[in-house]
Amino acid sequence: MSNRYSPDADLPVPAPDFGNLLKVLACEAPSRPTLFEFFLNGPLYRRLAAHTGLDVASAPDWLIVQRGFLAAGYDYATTHLPGFVFPADERAHASTVSLNEGAVITDRGSYDAYAWPDPAEANYAFLDEAAEALPPGMKLIVPCPGGVLENVIKLVGYEPLCIMIADDEQLVFDLFEQVGSRLAAMYVRAAPHPAVGACISNDDWGFKSQTMLSPADMRRFVFPWHELIVEKIHAAGKPAILHSCGYYGEVIDDVIESMGYDGRHSYEDTIEPVEQAYDSLRGRIAVMGGIDVDFICRHSPQEVYERSAAMLDRSSPGGFALGTGNSVPEYVPDEGYMAMIRAALDRR
């Protein structure tokens, strides 16, 4: 045990060991319960990072995030690359936002005029700076600036995309090629870095009851680029994690068998509780997180702890990392979040 402590009273947090997450992603049992989260939230990062002695008032955001993950007992920190995004019009900052808002490409003319970003211009040297701050045993996990489908919807709008598939199929193919090839090129440059332990391809695909496009259209337009992304990440010797919200029942075989992802993240009780997901996916792909965010918000810390502990017992054969079903937004109570991770830390 180290002398670092989480904000949850005197709960000891062991030194990081990314090897445990690698075992999870290989569908094996880690040497201790292992945590996984795509991201937390700003205030929580700062509260956690302060417990490492970091001056959060003056530290850069990326270091606060890294120290926040460290303080809570994670073996990694997620780290976005600066300087590579797909520009679009600003969306309103509100609790709900239309998927049609902010679109900038409507036809072939606006497609040709769009200033496509160059992934070579991302700040890959930032990985060196982030690596220098890592303690021994801890790694970086690099996500993308939105996924293949997410960025196409961002540029075109969801409803216009559905219409475009019927009206101008070739333009749709071209849009996905422009986005997908650039995301794959980013991973070609980022994944080989020695401080990068794994990569996340974050691309929300569905609603509660279905994928956003038909499974057939997902296979035509979206999935080939995910196959390429996984290929590039694996070529660097790193595992690939899919973060994707929504219903996945009709496409999970594509995720595992065609794309070859090592782990899948984002589970929701109204779609399939993580307990059932683990039972059906065990040994085929690692199940990352899964304690429903709504459950954490609506239930007592004791109930969150008990469900988390029971899930750790259920997943003792391996291939599971404990975390929320999606992320930790600001409305998640600290007490519920801490109860969840305490279930893992108590067993270390």
- Express as a percent the part of the chain with pLDDT over 70: 95
- Is 174 in a helix, a strand, or coil? helix
Query: Is residue 277 predicted with pLDDT exceeding 50?
Result: yes
Write down the residue that tokens 């090897």 correspond to: 19
Instruction: With beta carbons less than 8 A apart as the criterion, state whether 18 and 77 touch.
Output: no
SS3 state at 336:
helix
pLDDT of residue 95: 67
| pLDDT beyond 90 at 96 | no
| pLDDT higher than 70, residue 1 | no
Helices (H), the chain: 18-25, 42-50, 61-72, 108-113, 126-132, 148-156, 158-167, 169-190, 215-217, 223-235, 252-253, 274-281, 293-298, 301-314, 334-345
Chain segment 149-181, per-residue pLDDT in tens:
999 999 999 999 999 999 999 999 999 999 999
- The tokens 């259209």 sit on which residue? 217
Rg (CA), the chain: 20
Q: What share of the chain is helix, strand, coil (3-state, %, to 5)?
A: 45, 10, 45
State whether residue 9 is helix, strand or coil.
coil
Residues 278-291 have pLDDT tens digits of: 999 999 999 999 99
Domain positions in the chain: 18-345
Residue 45 CB: number of other CB atoms within 10 A?
24
The pLDDT tens digits for 294-309 are 999 999 999 999 999 9
**CATH class name, domain 18-345:** alpha beta
